[in-house]
């Protein structure tokens, strides 16, 4: 493998954020390569979501760096980072609640391809965008709700829409923060299969914050453990799960095979 092929897609270097006196993410250095799915685990309050927010630009670091394909993106805001290929699940606040599900996905498709208002007007373009949006909705099993207003969706359907929007942006890095939280049992496999499919394509970085250890075991190539804001374990899943630090951190907090 050439040096270039082995270069990480995404890297955090001594990434740190302090809230007052509290160090929520404490000098975390970690590199991620294309074709890998890394699960990020740790007890409540360990700093997982905060680390995600530092990577996606929702929060600004107190110290340290975020690099995407070697470029220092630490100074960029979330929209500029998304343009460069960082895919963070949209939160509802990023959506247009009065537009339909399908319209929101069409906007994401258009923004990905930088298609402005004028080009939207041509019928062929509109049809292409609509077809792409329908495809993304089908992938998350949400085609049946295409015409519903976003505001009327159930919590589980909102989560599926967030994933569809991330797919529509075709990012290099997929960041899933507890993607199945709040979903009903029958909805969960659709999303997990989708994440497995993205992993199988072998050309993306997938980061997954997940509490359910059975999900972690089935999907992850690698597990990174955060504890009190620090990276305390990193490696092959079986070894990390067996490590004393994980056994201790999860003891009583997460069932062994939830």
- Which parts of this chain interact with ligand ATP (CB under 6 A)? 19, 24, 42, 44-50
201 three-class SS: coil
Q: Give 88 or 145: the residue with its C-beta nearer to ligand ATP.
A: 88
Tokens of 61: 């670091």
Q: Min. distance of Cβ 90 from ligand ATP in angstroms?
A: 18
Q: Min. distance of Cβ 50 from ligand ATP in angstroms?
A: 3
Q: Give 167 or 223: the residue with its C-beta nearer to ligand ATP.
A: 223
Q: Min. distance of Cβ 149 from ligand ATP in angstroms?
A: 29
Cα separation, 50 vs 23, whole angstroms: 11
**Measuring CA to CA, which residue among 221, 179, 181 is closest to residue 200?**
221
Q: Min. distance of Cβ 227 from ligand ATP in angstroms?
A: 9
Q: Min. distance of Cβ 107 from ligand ATP in angstroms?
A: 28
- Beta-carbon count within 10 A of 72 CB: 12
Q: Give 44 or 93: the residue with its C-beta nearer to ligand ATP.
A: 44
Q: Give 138 or 256: the residue with its C-beta nearer to ligand ATP.
A: 256
Q: Give 46 or 219: the residue with its C-beta nearer to ligand ATP.
A: 46
State phi, psi for 226 to the nearest 5 degrees: -105, 145
Q: Min. distance of Cβ 215 from ligand ATP in angstroms?
A: 14
- Beta-carbon count within 10 A of 34 CB: 19
Helical residues (DSSP H) of 86-220, grouped into ranges: 101-112, 117-120, 123-139, 155-168, 188-200, 213-219
Tokens of 218: 């089935």
**Measuring CA to CA, which residue among 86, 256, 92 is closest to residue 171?**
86
**Measuring CA to CA, which residue among 167, 225, 236 is closest to residue 195?**
167
Q: Give 43 or 85: the residue with its C-beta nearer to ligand ATP.
A: 43
In eight-state DSSP terms, residue 85 is T
Q: What is the CA radius of gyration of the chain?
A: 19
Q: Min. distance of Cβ 242 from ligand ATP in angstroms?
A: 21
Q: Which residues of 89-127 are buried (b: 16+ CB within 10 A; e: fewer)?
A: bbeeeebeeeebbbbbbbbbbbbbeebeeeeeeeeeeee
Q: Give 57 or 85: the residue with its C-beta nearer to ligand ATP.
A: 57
């Amino acid at each position: 493998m050439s040096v270039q092929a082995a270069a990480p897609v995404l890297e955090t270097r001594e990434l740190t954020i302090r809230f007052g006196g509290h160090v929520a993410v404490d000098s975390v250095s970690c590199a991620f390569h294309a074709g890998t799915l890394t699960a990020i685990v740790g007890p409540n309050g360990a700093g997982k979501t905060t680390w995600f927010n530092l990577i996606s630009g929702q929060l600004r670091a107190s110290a340290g760096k975020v690099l995407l394909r070697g470029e220092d993106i630490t100074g960029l805001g979330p929209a500029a980072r998304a343009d460069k290929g960082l895919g963070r699940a949209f939160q509802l606040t990023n959506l247009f609640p009065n537009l339909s599900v399908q319209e929101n996905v069409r906007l994401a498709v258009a923004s990905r391809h930088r298609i402005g208002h004028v080009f939207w007007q041509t019928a062929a373009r509109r049809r292409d965008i609509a077809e792409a949006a329908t495809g993304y909705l089908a992938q998350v099993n949400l085609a049946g709700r295409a015409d519903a207003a976003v505001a009327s969706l159930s919590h589980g359907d909102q989560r599926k829409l967030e994933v569809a929007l991330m797919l529509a942006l075709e990012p290099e890095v997929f960041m899933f923060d507890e993607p199945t939280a709040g979903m009903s049992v029958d909805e969960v496999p659709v999303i997990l299969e989708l994440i497995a499919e993205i992993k199988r394509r072998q050309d993306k970085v997938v980061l997954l914050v997940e509490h359910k250890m059975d999900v972690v075991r089935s999907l992850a190539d690698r597990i990174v453990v955060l504890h009190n804001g620090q990276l305390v374990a990193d490696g092959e899943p079986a070894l990390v799960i067996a490590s004393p630090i994980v056994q201790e951190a999860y003891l009583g907090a997460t069932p062994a095979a939830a």
